[in-house]
Amino acid sequence: MTRTGIVLFAHGARDPAWARPFEAVRARLAELQPQSAVALAYLEFMSPDLLQAGQAVAAQGCTDVRVVPLFLGAGGHVRKDLPQLVEELRRRHPQVQWTLAPAVGEHPAVVEAMARVAAGTPAP
């Protein structure tokens, strides 16, 4: 039986308040996908990091895990650092199928939502 997992991946910051919106996304995703293990990981300054979060979802029996970068664009961290980390997850947990999603900020729905917020118009 396949159990899915989703690991949200954010940059991280020294200020713990910075993480609140990302924690809200994790909580909402867990509501939307109650059958999936949902984790939040950070590149730097905060815990858990991606390898720790990946270990946690693998330990929950997940065999199919999507890593979703909560970045507005695919800069160096998303293009270089993140693929290396996902390769390390594949090496450490070969029983898990790891899929790296595009940066969320590149999705048309996110672009539309940001434009609507900036314009002060309601969502459709």
Which tens digits make up the pLDDT trace of 57-69?
A: 999 999 999 999 9
pLDDT in tens, 75-92: 777 789 999 999 999 999
* pTM as predicted: 0.93
pLDDT of residue 79: 85
Query: Residue 1 to residues 61, 100, 111, 124: CA-CA distances in angstroms?
Result: 10, 21, 36, 38
| Torsional sign, CA 123, 4, 107, 84 | positive
- The rounded distance, in Å, linking the Cα atoms of 76 and 111 is 20
pLDDT of residue 40: 98
Tokens read off for 27: 């909580």
Band (1; pLDDT cuts 50, 70, 90): low
Contact by Cβ (8 Å): 61, 15: no
Contact by Cβ (8 Å): 92, 51: yes
pLDDT of residue 93: 98
Residue 121, CB-side half-sphere exposure with 13 Å CA sphere: 8
User: Domains plus CATH for the chain?
Assistant: 4-119 (3.40.50.1400)
